[in-house]
Amino acid sequence: MATATKDYGLFIGGETVEASGDLRDVYEPATGGVLARTALANEADVDRAVAAARAALDGAWGKTPGTERSRLLHALADAIVANRKELAELESRNVGKAISSVKAEIAGAAENFRYYASAIATIAGRSASVGGSLIFYSLKEPAGVAGQIVPWNYPLMMATWKLAPALAAGCACVLKPDPQTPLSVLRVAELATEVGFPPGAINIVPGDGPTTGAYLVRHPGVDKVAFTGSTKTGGEVMRLCSDPIKRLTLELGGKSPNLLFADANLADAIPASVWAIFASAGQSCEARSRLLVEKSMYDDVVAQVTELSQRVKVGDPLDAETQMGSLISAAHREKVHGFVESARGEGAEITTGGEIDAGPGAFYPPTVIAGAGNQMLVAQEEIFGPVVTVIPFDDENDAIRIANDVKYGLMATVWTGDPGKGHRIASKIKSGTVGINMPYTAFPGIPFGGYKQSGFGRELALETLDLYLETKSVVTYTGTRPTNPFGL
Ligand code: NAD
């Protein structure tokens, strides 16, 4: 594979600018080679980006009506589609992810802009007569400058989940991608300028979390913070948002269950369950990493899942046949492997995978852990790798109990041939999304987000707009004004 070593700057005020500080290598995890170098924003750069966003709100962007914002969002979606080949290849190489998955992510990113281009039409206040001569109307105003932080696992898709609703609402954005994966969103920011977004509406400042990220969150010029990342970092961001008080939404980790009942269509459910963990090499917040299986068929399901896992095509992310690429880095692979070793240490059986591949690249094989209980570390903690823990249950109540017995609540999938049972279980599971015989999870228009320590706020949905809007009530009276309580 040829390596290009382009240098990427920051994106501030509608153009690519040099950072005040250093450039850092950006890797291609499937080869270990250097793909590019990125500028890293320091505090002065974040100040510049926030100032550019504020100037945009006070200037051209703040004066851009909803109809024009909608047109711009559609134009950006068109530009993403027109450049999808370049974006997919860049993302695939940078994340190490199978190009077939990445193509779908790029298409989804464009669709998300289109969804919010239409959703703008729903932004409206209310008016009412509330008794006597008192009347009011409410205005929906942009929350202001949005500071947005996203992780490395779906770099462009996560960025567009944040940018699209914020821009639709009329906010100006300062987005910090993970420094390992800033390339695709920097390119999309350039496209935004090309299609006509005014300078400062979108600013991109790659940088490290505890420095650049924390500075952005604390910045007094940032009105609203939207964070996607781990639950641990989310807690830190929440603390930072307490002084000065900031509006905040958190999209955090998961340990999502996949409930497989004996009455399900197993020919459909088992392959879909394998996909639901190994897609994106398990580096997915909604990875169904706990496979809960009705006890009567446990051994048989373990055997089938093991066999199917061995058939997942792992390899060069740019090969159209590849189903699972590498992990994001060798360091992350060590972390994933440490969890598998802990399960071995606790007496679980690794039926396939569980060994670090020799050779270049941060590859790790699809790994199945059987003979495991829900209290084991691998069943409680987010591994964020291609590792599924298969856990038996006795009956419906036991399945629900185990499903809910983690600190997270992002996603769950239920496989059953009984529709009533599917809906009954969906009502009892504490998670933001429940799929019934449906492994796929994220669609524009369907709220996505967490219960419990998976965070709060919803993305991809109409209600996401409200998270970027303030409601102002304007009150007056039509007849006699209520009496002055001072009697003056
Ligand atoms: P992470 O929390 O380490 O980093 C996420 C982002 O936060 C990065 O951009 C990082 O630079 C930044 N960051 C780190 N420390 C910070 C700080 N102190 N202040 C401000 N920003 C800081 O997470 P990660 O390992 O990069 O990403 C994986 C996590 O993201 C997983 O837990 C996954 O479940 C979660 N995730 C959740 C969703 C969702 O929608 N719920 C989607 C994707 C990923």
Question: What is the number of the ligand 1 atom nearest to the C-alpha of 229?
Answer: 30
pLDDT value of residue 358: 86
DSSP-derived secondary structure letter, 42: -
Average pLDDT over residues 105-124: 98
Which one-letter amino acid corresponds to residue 268?
Answer: D
CA angle 30, 36, 40 (to 5 degrees): 115
1: pLDDT strictly greater than 50: no
pLDDT value of residue 128: 83
What are the residues whose beta carbons fall under 8 Å from the beta carbon of 158, sequence distance 6 or more?
Answer: 150, 151, 228
Q: Is the CB of 228 under 6 A from ligand 1?
A: yes
Ligand 1 site-directed mutation target among 222, 230, 446, most atoms within 8 Å of CB: 230
Q: Is the CB of 317 under 6 A from ligand 1?
A: no
d(CA 85, CA 118): 26
Q: Contact, 62 vs 170, CB < 8 A? A: yes
Q: Around Cβ 1, how many Cβ atoms within 10 Å?
A: 11
Q: Is the CB of 161 under 6 A from ligand 1?
A: no
Distance 209 CA to ligand 1 centre (A): 9
Instruction: Report the nearest-CA residue for atom 35 of ligand 1.
Output: 229
d(CA 188, CA 106): 11
> Which one of the listed residues 111, 285, 286, 294 is annotated catalytic?
285
2: pLDDT strictly greater than 50: no
Q: Which residues pair with 470 in a beta bridge?
A: 141
Q: Has 470 been annotated as catalytic?
A: no
Going through 302-436 in order, the beta strands assigned E by DSSP cover: 349-352, 367-370, 387-393, 408-409, 411-415, 433-436
Distance 371 CA to ligand 1 centre (A): 31
390: pLDDT strictly greater than 70: yes
The answer to whether the pTM exceeds 0.95 is: yes
Q: Has 111 been annotated as catalytic?
A: no
136: pLDDT strictly greater than 50: yes
471: pLDDT strictly greater than 60: yes
Q: Around Cβ 479, how many Cβ atoms within 10 Å?
A: 8
Q: How many whole angstroms from its chain centre is CA 471?
A: 26
d(CA 305, CA 142): 48
What are the residues whose beta carbons fall under 8 Å from the beta carbon of 420, sequence distance 6 or more?
Answer: none
Q: Which residues pair with 413 in a beta bridge?
A: 258, 435
Question: What is the number of the ligand 1 atom nearest to the C-alpha of 208?
Answer: 11
pLDDT tens per residue across span 221-277 = 999 999 999 999 999 999 999 999 999 999 999 999 999 999 999 999 999 999 999
pLDDT tens per residue across span 442-457 = 999 999 999 999 999 9
Average pLDDT over residues 376-396: 98
b/e per residue 210-233 (b: at least 16 CB within 10 A): eebbbbbbbbebbbbbbbbbbbeb
b/e per residue 127-141 (b: at least 16 CB within 10 A): eeeeeeeebeebebe
